[in-house]
Amino acid sequence: MKSWRRFWRNRIEFYPAFSIFIWYAVGSVLSSLRVQNRPGIVTLGLITIPVVVVFIIAVRRAWRELPAGS
């Protein structure tokens, strides 16, 4: 609960991550469902996994960098 409050108070710090996640989810993952019969579409998705890992690292860093007691 405390973590959630801390997150909510500093939510603006996570807006870029939210933007890129939602864009990736809608623009890439969900849209791919329309073309799932194309050869290599799964491979193409797997190629971009490092990008998702980098997003997650950025969110963790942003969380750690929040001012103490906020």
Partner 1 sequence: MANDVRNRTGKNATGGAFITWAYVFLYLIIGISTYIHHVHPWILSVPDNRNVASWQHPAFEETAIYDRMTEEERRQVLKEGVPQGGDLTAQFATDLFMIIVSWFCFIHARANFGSWMASCFFIGSFIFTGLEESIWILTGRYLGGLLEHNPGGTFFGTYWFSKGGFWFFETPLVACLGWFAIAYSCVWVAGKVFPRMGLWGRAVVGGLIAMGTDLWADPVATSPELMNWVWAKGDFFLFFGIPFYNFIGWFLLIFLFAVIWEKLPDMERKWGRTGSSALFLTVCTSGTVLVALFIYVVWFLVSGGILHQFGLETVVQIPKGW
Q: What is the identity of the amino acid at 65?
A: E
Q: Smallest gap, in angstroms, from Cβ of residue 36 to partner 1?
A: 10
- Our CB check for partner 1 shows the closer of 5 and 51 to be 51
Q: Are 41 and 33 in contact (CB under 8 A)?
A: no
Can you list the alpha helix ranges (DSSP code H) found in the chain? Answer: 2-9, 15-23, 31-32, 41-47, 49-64
Which is closer to partner 1, CB of 1 or CB of 37? 37
Residues that bind partner 1 (CB under 8 A): 12-13, 15-20, 22-24, 26-28, 31-32, 34-35, 38-41, 44-45, 47-48, 50-51, 54-55, 57-58, 61-62, 65
Least distance (Å) from partner 1 to the CB of residue 54? Answer: 6
Structure tokens at 67: 């001012």
